[in-house]
Amino acid sequence: MSDNTTITPRDDRETAVVGAGRRIATAIGILITAATTLLAAFGDMQWITDNLPMLGVGLGSLVSGGIASYIAVRRMRIDASAAGKQKQAA
């Protein structure tokens, strides 16, 4: 591994994406909690009220994984572009 490894700093676009991801994950949690409460009030829905929180965790994981992947790919593209510009300057 190279000793001159640099970390691409977070910019405003990535900060906005991370903030949006947090809001989406929070909204999923609120919706799943509300749905679980409503279904529990109706009764005879034990199987779905037991498994609905697990669905919420899965959806939240998909959101956070998607955001992490987006940021990683974006940073790789920025780094590749910067490396290409350095080769052209040399």
Query: How many C-beta atoms surround the C-beta of residue 34 within 10 A?
Result: 10
Task: Please report whether residue 64 resides in a domain.
Answer: yes
Query: Environment class of residue 85 by beta-carbon count within 10 Å: exposed (0-12), middle (13-18) or buried (19+)?
Result: exposed
Number of domains in the chain: 1
Q: What local confidence, expressed as pLDDT, does residue 4 receive?
A: 60
The answer to whether the CB of 40 falls within 8 A of the CB of 50 is no
DSSP type of residue 44: S
Range of the domain at 84: 24-89
| Pairwise CA distance, residues 50 & 71, whole Å | 34
Q: What local confidence, expressed as pLDDT, does residue 59 receive?
A: 92
**pLDDT in 10s for each residue of the chain, 90 residues:** 455 666 667 788 888 888 998 999 999 999 999 998 888 888 888 888 889 989 999 999 999 999 999 988 988 888 888 777 777 766
Task: Please report whether residue 11 resides in a domain.
Answer: no
- Residues 6 or more apart whose Cβ sits within 8 Å of residue 48: 39
